[in-house]
Structure 1
Amino acid sequence: MYINERQLYSYIIFTKNTKKASELLEMAELVRKCCDYFEDCTPEPRSKFPVWFFSTSEWLISDLSELMALFLSIFHSDPLSYGQKVCAAVGFWIRNFPVHFQYDANPQLYRLLERLKKLAIANNFIPLQAVDELLDISSIPSYAWIRNPSARNPPLSSTHLQVSSFCLIEHWSAEEIAKAMSNIEHKVLSRITTGELKQYIKIGKI
């Protein structure tokens, strides 16, 4: 689904949801600004703006698939002027924030990326090699371990802490208790997604 200014204004008229439409219009301007910092299919931008933009994107928009839809909309509306810039910007996004492109986490974003790739290939003025290099996600590793912090940060080794029927918490040193509590807090907080955190900020609960 492509999003352009005409569709957004129609959205305002028929739904009266001016806040949502305004947010999308502002994001569309930011997306276009991000694209403007890329020259043709060059992989690196001329400014640090894209770094800031993609690092805060989860806070700027409710769903990253909406962000990809905006890139698609810009490509579709003006492929001659923005086709290569969009591919370069999305390629930069993939390389620097690959965790956003996990299929299990956001299949819609993954599908929109595939649509962008097909659209780019269909436009002969974009080199096929550049499309393959910029929009390739086949080498993105799995980030499932992020959701299992205890696997990468075990709380305490068996040599430092052995919990058994005869080992009570009062026998632990202050350092051992601090390490155990820090691990519990880290494990809990690491399982909170950005979306859940945004929901908590808005309504005070997850």
Structure 2
Amino acid sequence: MMGSWSLRKAATLDELLHQSVHCFDDSGDVNGQVLPRVLLLMHQWYVSSTELAQHLLCMYRSCKAENCEETRLKICFFMRFWIQTFPAEFNLDLGLIRITEEFRDWTRRLGCEEQSLLLDISSIPSFDWMRRVTQRRKTLKKGKASLLFHHLEPSQLAEHLTFLELKALRRISFPDYHSYVVHGHLVQNPTLERSIALFNGLSQWVQLMVLRQLTPQSRAEVIAKFIHVAQKLLHLQNFNSLMSVVGSLSHSAICRLKETHRYLPPEVLK
């Protein structure tokens, strides 16, 4: 899709930016080229968003080629593509916001009002909720469990779990993942810590709901219901909660319940 460019094993940042900018046509369409999106998606592994925007601004200011106006317009198209594809960055990264405003000032100095409009970030919705992490709730007293399990069908329970998973995952930003990969721990990374805590909490809850039953038959009914919940989670493509449920049912505390497994229907065992 990127032609001979895909044969390159390495490239400088300026080369990547030059190639990405020229993926856009005169109307600002990327025409199926994947390099701009890949660059914007992965750049934070080796350069900050502020630095990347600064490189683009330098390209814009120092452009002196014959097709200078065309190149400058495409640089602005690239910036607009960035704003539209990853808007949260332009709401949360103060350095990136500052460079973007400086970028707009330069387009106005050159009398390019149309290019200035391509860099407008004033209408981006607020992503301030990604900065805030709710206070930890006190853990339930030992022995307490939610009664909702018995009142919800497997499909409803799967939808509730997926909603909770969505709330946790959408708070995790790229810097959170990057921090964990670089540092190897969750210190000062509360959003990722919460997501992992949700996974572990769900796993423990599943085991509790099974083990708190008093008879092998009632435990088998709970296991069967969670199997159906897992099937619904798979259908919803909620793989995180799915693995938590599957891991719980595969735990030694559940697997060793031989008498309980005798009450499971053949289709559930399969």
Same fold flag (TM > 0.5)? yes
Question: 1:60-75 counterparts in 2 under 5 A?
Answer: 60-75=45-60
- Structure-2 residue corresponding to 1:83: 72
Flag the structure with larger Rg. 2
- Structure-2 residue corresponding to 1:141: 125
Distance 1:106 1:171 in 2: 43
2:88 counterpart SS class: helix
Question: 1:6-85 counterparts in 2 under 5 A?
Answer: 26-40=12-26, 42-49=27-34, 50-54=36-40, 56-78=41-63, 81=68, 82-85=71-74
Distance 2:57 2:174 in 1: 24
1:173 counterpart SS class: helix
Matched, 1:121 2:121: no
What residue ranges of structure 2 are gaps of 5+ in the alignment?
1-9, 135-139, 187-270
TM-score (norm 2): 0.49
Distance 1:108 1:59 in 2: 14
Distance 1:109 1:79 in 2: 25
Distance 2:132 2:162 in 1: 15
1:40-97: CA deviation from partner (whole Å, max 9, x where unpaired): 5x3322442223332x145444421111011112112215523222111101211222
User: How far is 1:141 from its partner?
Assistant: 1.2
CA pair 92-189 structure 1, distance change in 2 beyond 3 A:
closer
Matched, 1:168 2:144: yes
Q: Which has the higher contact order (CA 8 A, sep 6+)?
A: 1
% identity of equivalent residues: 24
CA pair 100-173 structure 1, distance change in 2 beyond 3 A:
same
Number of residue pairs the alignment of both structures matches = 162
CA contact (8 A) 2:107 2:116 kept: no
CA pair 200-99 structure 1, distance change in 2 beyond 3 A:
same
User: How far is 1:38 from its partner?
Assistant: 2.2
- Structure-1 residue corresponding to 2:260: none
TM-score (norm 1): 0.62
CA pair 119-57 structure 1, distance change in 2 beyond 3 A:
farther
RMSD, aligned α-carbons:
3.5
Distance 2:54 2:144 in 1: 55
Distance 2:31 2:167 in 1: 38
What residue ranges of structure 1 are gaps of 5+ in the alignment?
1-22, 151-163
CA contact (8 A) 2:45 2:178 kept: no
Matched, 1:197 2:177: yes
